[in-house]
Amino acid sequence: MKHVRLYQNTLLNIGEELTLDEYASHHLFKVLRFPQGQSITLFNGDGFNYSAEVLETNKHCIVKLLSKNLNPSESKLKLTLAQGVAKGEKMDFLIQKAVELGVNKIIPILSERCVVKLSGDKLVKRTNHWQKIVIGACEQSGRSVIPEMVSPIGLDEFLQQSSVNGFVLHHRSEQTLLDMAVVNKATILIGPEG
């Protein structure tokens, strides 16, 4: 049987029983038809994987937390992606792949050339949607730290807030990335489609 990893937005304590949230319960009970007695892995964003045994599978699944282990998969490089907002499912795909590749923070950038215009309720709804994609990508990729998903900001605001020295990647440059000093923190800025 496939091993299952699920996110729980709560404190996880070894030895305690936990009622899974509505989404996780539905996924185990209705989608996977997961049997009692099997083990799953939970995570809550603190960097640990929690091994748990499924005690009850129904509308409100109950698990017992057995052990926790530090997840060694996180990179020492703290990487921020500032991405011009793309239209349709492209932005969802970009966020998913960025999380799977190890990005720690995602900043959607709204610029003059962005095709997508977000404000008010639409902005809040879209940001919440992206946060769910971040969590799903962590479940799939084995990450136990949830990258920060920032609410979209304008390019000017990003540039004012940014305190990093940058460089431009150019295919005709004489200097390569291998020639540069090793860093422990980096921000990648990618423009919009338009």
CATH number of the domain that residue 161 is part of: 3.40.1280.10
CA distance 118 to 123: 5
Band of residue 27 on the pLDDT scale cut at 50, 70, 90: confident
Tell me if the pTM is above 0.95. Answer: no
Do 28 and 109 lie in one domain? The reply is no
Do 156 and 94 lie in one domain? The reply is yes
Q: What is the pLDDT of residue 114?
A: 66
Question: How do beta strands 153-154 and 105-110 pair?
Answer: parallel
Do 102 and 162 lie in one domain? The reply is yes
75-124: pLDDT as tens digits: 888 999 999 888 878 999 999 999 999 999 999 988 776 666 667 777 78
Do 93 and 117 lie in one domain? The reply is yes
- Strand, coil or helix: what is 74? coil
Find the CATH number of the domain harbouring 40: 2.40.240.20
Number of domains the chain is built from: 2
Do 104 and 52 lie in one domain? The reply is no
The dihedral formed by the CA atoms of 152, 189, 162 and 96, expressed in degrees to the nearest 10: 50
Question: What is the arithmetic mean of pLDDT over 129-134?
Answer: 94
Task: Fill in the DSSP letter of residue 30.
Answer: I
Do 183 and 166 lie in one domain? The reply is yes
Q: Which of 23-37, 55-69, 98-112 has the lowest mean pLDDT?
A: 23-37
Do 91 and 13 lie in one domain? The reply is no
Domain assignment of residue 46, given as a range? 5-70
Which of 70, 88, 118 corresponds to the end of one domain? 70
